Amino acid sequence: MRWFFLILAIASITVALALGPRGEKFSSPPFMLFPDMDNQYKVKAQKPSQFFENGQGARKPVEGTIPFGHDLPGENLVGSRLDYSRGSDYYNTGLFGDYYGKGFPEELQWDEAFLARGKERYRITCTPCHGESGNGAGIVSKYWAIPPTANLLDPRVKDLPEGQLFWTITHGKGLMGPYNGILSVNDRWAVVAYLRGLQAASGN
Amino acid sequence: MGNIFPRWTNLLAIKILVCLGALGTCAVALAWYSWTPKYTRVGYMPQQPIPFDHSLHAGRLGMDCRYCHTHVENSPHSNIPAAQVCWNCHGPGKVDSDAVALEPLRQAMDENYENYTGKPIEWVQLHKVPDYAHFSHQAHVNRGVSCVECHGRVDEMPVVYHAKPLSMSWCLDCHRSPEKVLRPLDQITNLDWKAEDLDSDAFYAYVAGKTQASAEDLKKADEGKAWNRELIGAHLRQAWGVQPPQDCAACHH
């Protein structure tokens, strides 16, 4: 009996020391006691799949087809947050033929929510480089000596047509990358609208 | 007639029971402490292909979570950004573009790079609910539940680790009393938000606009109450009509 409790005590302490307290950092995949159906053979978002040759679970649409819920040619999901359209009209490209268009497309819904959305998206997406006020002195310029970002309050930018601003957000310019995968079409127009507000407020 | 069993056997049965009891207690204690997600998942800190520093990007630079996790508001799945998003700032001629640590990024993105593969960066997922539980980011962040409630202070983590257990009972804690975690919608990605940061007049006006009550009445009713997360959350819960489901099919469908 005495021996039993001695061995039990030693074993308990050994196990406790080996396991350590809760919340300790470790890098191996978490231990699972009953992994029954925790990891099912199904493709989830952004997961790999050995089934396909390139190892990616996500598939591109079959060529010549359009996934359900996406835009048909000539039909816009105006205002939708899932609108990353590939249409060819002014709303989707900022272009009339080969020229940048002036003014905002008529598809836009002008209300408070639209402008608030533009402000929010501008702060999330544009502020790191262009700064909260648009003067090009974002946080990035304080730490890194990369070529200066555009001062959006400059009269030069102020004179650019809306279509060109939209096109620049969509495709990038110079060192700026394209933002068409981050901002939906409607959000890009909302950002342009907010930017016009910033420019008007700056008084340049 | 002599005794068949010696004297020490009198207590043998009790001794065996006591030993088994002690052994069982230890086993239960072990399972209670270390076979729950509080032990098995919290602290999981896998090595990522690129040692991305959240404390730098989301902390010091003050970037919004949604700069990279763009679809968190529109999708059940909060996306890991495509390499293109990293490339926006770390492309050629930009921030630290020659860093050794960014090798996998160049492999994925730089077509002029000798080791270019064009394959996506294989980030390691740390937060995962079982495949039979359906969690929607969209439903939570659009109803006032901040990132920080489930992911901890990511803006202070040089290497991201699993901060909360994500166990079922932990989910239910909030589903039973959501007022503890609700906050105004514009503060969702502000991981450092506190109740004191909120302008009470604007807040009462907002709540009054959502409910039938007037701002003055709400204020009067709250007199003497401590201005804290729970009070704010209770108002928001009422204003938005938040009723988190507690039935099985809410998540296991």
Query: CA B214 to CA B225: how far, in whole Å?
Result: 18
pLDDT at residue B192, as a whole number: 93
- CB-based contact, B41 to chain A, within 8 Å: yes
The band of A74, judged by pLDDT with boundaries at 50, 70 and 90, is low
Over residues B180-208, mean pLDDT? 92
The band of A73, judged by pLDDT with boundaries at 50, 70 and 90, is low
**Number of structural domains in chain A:** 1
Segment A150-160, tens digit of pLDDT: 889 988 999 99
Query: How much of chain A, in percent, has pLDDT values that exceed 90?
Result: 36
Asked if the structure places residue B170 within a domain, the reply is yes
Asked if the structure places residue B67 within a domain, the reply is yes
Shared-domain flag, residues B149 and B240: yes
Question: DSSP letters along chain B, please?
Answer: ---SS-GGGGGHHHHHHHHHHHHHHHHHHHHHHHSSHHHHTTTB-PPPSS---HIIIIIIS---HHHHSTTTTTSSS-PPPPHHHHHHHHSTTSTTTT-GGGHHHHHHH-TTSTT---PPP-PPP-----TTS---HHHHHTTTB-THHHH--GGG-SS----S---HHHHHHHHH-GGGTB--GGGTT-TT--GGGS-HHHHHHHHHHHSSS-HHHHHHHTTTS--SHHHHHHHHHHHHT-----SGGGT--
Asked if the structure places residue B243 within a domain, the reply is yes
Asked if the structure places residue B110 within a domain, the reply is no
Q: In a 3-state reduction of DSSP, which class is residue A164? A: helix
Shared-domain flag, residues B27 and B138: no
Asked if the structure places residue A23 within a domain, the reply is no
CB-nearest partner of B67 from A24, A27, A124: A124
Query: CA B52 to CA B155: how far, in whole Å?
Result: 12
pLDDT at residue B1, as a whole number: 63
Query: How much of chain B, in percent, has pLDDT values that exceed 90?
Result: 72
Shared-domain flag, residues B60 and B18: no
Segment B43-65, tens digit of pLDDT: 999 999 999 999 999 999 999 99
The band of A77, judged by pLDDT with boundaries at 50, 70 and 90, is low
Shared-domain flag, residues B30 and B127: no
pLDDT at residue A174, as a whole number: 85
Number of CB pairs < 8 Å for A and B? 115
Q: Which residue of B has its CA nearest to A24?
A: B43
Asked if the structure places residue B100 within a domain, the reply is no
Q: Which residue of B has its CA nearest to A182?
A: B70
Whether A146 shows a pLDDT value over 90: the answer reads no
pLDDT at residue A81, as a whole number: 52
The minimum CA-CA distance between B1 and chain A, rounded to whole Å, is 30
Asked if the structure places residue B226 within a domain, the reply is yes
Instruction: List all residues 6 or more positions away from A135 whose beta carbon is below 8 Å from its beta carbon.
Output: A151, A152, A153, A202
pLDDT at residue A85, as a whole number: 59
- CB-based contact, A123 to chain B, within 8 Å: yes
Cβ density class A126-139: b for 16+ within 10 Å, e for less? bbbbbbeebbbbbb
Query: CA B149 to CA A99: how far, in whole Å?
Result: 48
Asked if the structure places residue A105 within a domain, the reply is no
Asked if the structure places residue A12 within a domain, the reply is no
Asked if the structure places residue A47 within a domain, the reply is no
Q: Do residue B91 and residue A123 have CB atoms under 8 angstroms apart? A: no
For residue A168, the domain's CATH number is 1.10.760.10
Residue among B35, B235, B65 at smallest CA distance from A34: B35
Asked if the structure places residue A30 within a domain, the reply is no
Query: To which residue do tokens 């270019």 refer?
Result: B116
Q: Which residue of A has its CA nearest to B127?
A: A30
Per the structure, the complete domain to which residue A173 belongs is given by 110-202
The band of B15, judged by pLDDT with boundaries at 50, 70 and 90, is very high
pLDDT at residue A72, as a whole number: 60
Q: Greater confidence, B65 or A146? A: B65
Asked if the structure places residue A11 within a domain, the reply is no
- β-bridge mates for residue A56, sequence order: A48
Query: To which residue do tokens 């105004």 refer?
Result: B184
Shared-domain flag, residues B130 and B36: no
- CB-based contact, A5 to chain B, within 8 Å: yes
Asked if the structure places residue B195 within a domain, the reply is yes
The minimum CA-CA distance between B124 and chain A, rounded to whole Å, is 10
Shared-domain flag, residues B59 and B184: yes
Asked if the structure places residue B219 within a domain, the reply is yes
Q: Which residue of B has its CA nearest to A45?
A: B77
Most confident of the ranges A33-37, A96-100, B97-101, B135-139: B135-139
CB-nearest partner of A139 from B40, B43, B61: B61
Average pLDDT, chain A: 85
Residues in chain B: 253
Per the structure, the complete domain to which residue B29 belongs is given by 14-40
**Number of structural domains in chain B:** 2
Shared-domain flag, residues B29 and B76: no
pLDDT at residue A197, as a whole number: 93
The band of A80, judged by pLDDT with boundaries at 50, 70 and 90, is low
Asked if the structure places residue A170 within a domain, the reply is yes
Most confident of the ranges A65-69, A102-106, B134-138: B134-138
Shared-domain flag, residues B201 and B231: yes
Query: CA A71 to CA A87: how far, in whole Å?
Result: 8
Instruction: List all residues 6 or more positions away from B212 whose beta carbon is below 8 Å from its beta carbon.
Output: none
Phi, psi of B158 (to 5 degrees): -60, -40
Shared-domain flag, residues B166 and B216: yes
Would you say B232 and B195 are in contact if contact means Cβ atoms under 8 Å apart?
yes
Q: Do residue A38 and residue B45 have CB atoms under 8 angstroms apart? A: no
pLDDT at residue A164, as a whole number: 94
Residue among A135, A176, A175 at smallest CA distance from A152: A135
Query: Which residues of chain B have a CB within 8 Å of the CB of A60?
Result: none
The number of beta carbons lying within 10 Å of the beta carbon of residue A79 is 16
Shared-domain flag, residues B22 and B134: no
Query: How much of chain B, in percent, has pLDDT values that exceed 70?
Result: 100
Asked if the structure places residue A164 within a domain, the reply is yes
Would you say B159 and B101 are in contact if contact means Cβ atoms under 8 Å apart?
no
- CB-based contact, B157 to chain A, within 8 Å: no
